[in-house]
Amino acid sequence: MKKTTTRLADGRELLYYDASDAADRTAADPRPLDPVATTSEIRTDALLGDAVAVASHRQGRPYHPAVDACPLCPSTAGRHTEIPADGYDVVVFENRFPSLTGEHGRCEVVCFTPDHDASFADLTAEQAALVLDAWTDRTAALSQLPGVAQVFCFENRGAEIGVTLGHPHGQIYAYPFVTPRTERMLASLAAHREATGRNLFDDVVARELTDGRRIVLDGAHWVAFVPYAAHWPYEVHLYPKRRVPDLLALDEPARTEFPQIYLEVLRRFDRIFGPEAPPTPYVSAWHQAPVHAADRSQFALHLELFTVRRTPGKLKFLAGSESGMNVFINDVPPEAAAERLREVASES
């Protein structure tokens, strides 16, 4: 992998990740950009203790631009975008409209491919491996920034999820706090260890492997399953079989196998609702140990993938129970979801 670091016209950092050492990434950004102006602040909910980011400057971000105005495509002689080069493999850059900034964290955009009409599932195993390398490198770098408590790599795909740019991309948030979801995981982890002396993540994975009904894919180094108490109609958790706290700790066998496993799961997601259905909207989220957790080795890196589509043409809305009380009601039994995901396996 060749990594090239440069700056955009307004000073934001941009990094190219290329498979070939011969890639030339010297093109400068000629746009007359003003410095980024942000109003990000973090407020705490007095009743729940949750942190809320308030970022009013994001109201002006691009919203479903035409294909010929996409800011994530490579630049051409007649149009300059966020990527100055006329081609790229993987690009990461600071978001011009960040939710978190300065002492309140950092937000980055990850462009998976220059092909505007592709998706992550269309990548080759080699391309997906390069994205994994980029996620790992950015996790390492962002974890070293002062005040950063947790690094979160994720992808939102589909208008139903709220995506405003159609180009295949994800984001990385460097939070200045440990997120509420992770805090709950850590509390459950500690309680389980106190009660049993064992690791909760290990027990969850072992239970799924023993039961078998919710297993979607079982590889040599990774296992993908629908969780016992899945919140979403179709939800898959992907764990390395050797527990590690973050992407940096993955060994080479796990890194090598990951693209095949993950791409197959994504391709199955696109076949859940039949060949005539549009691409399945989803959220794909990496869960990593907080940077300064007391015992990071007890946390288990894993990826959670889910869709808001529950059946062709129908979405799972977070209505009264989910939005008002955070109690999810799932219309699809996890065992049925896993069976469907096994049915739509790629042909060998």
Closest to 238 measured CA to CA, from 253, 252, 257, 251: 257
The two structure tokens encoding residue 258: 């990951």
The two structure tokens encoding residue 97: 């409209």
Is residue 126 within 8 A of residue 132, CB to CB? The reply is no
Terminal-residue alpha carbon distance, the chain? 30
- Collect contacts of 8-11 with beta carbons under 8 A, ≥24 apart: 8/33, 8/82, 8/84, 8/93, 8/94, 9/33, 10/34, 10/35, 10/36, 10/96, 11/35, 11/36
Active site residue 169: yes
Q: Of the listed 80, 104, 169, 287, which one is catalytic? A: 169
- What are φ and ψ of residue 106, in 5° steps? -155, 145
Name the CA dihedral angle for 173, 176, 181, 183, rounded to a multiple of 10 degrees. 150
> How far, in Å, CA of 156 to CA of 108, rounded?
14
Q: Please list the active-site residues.
A: 169
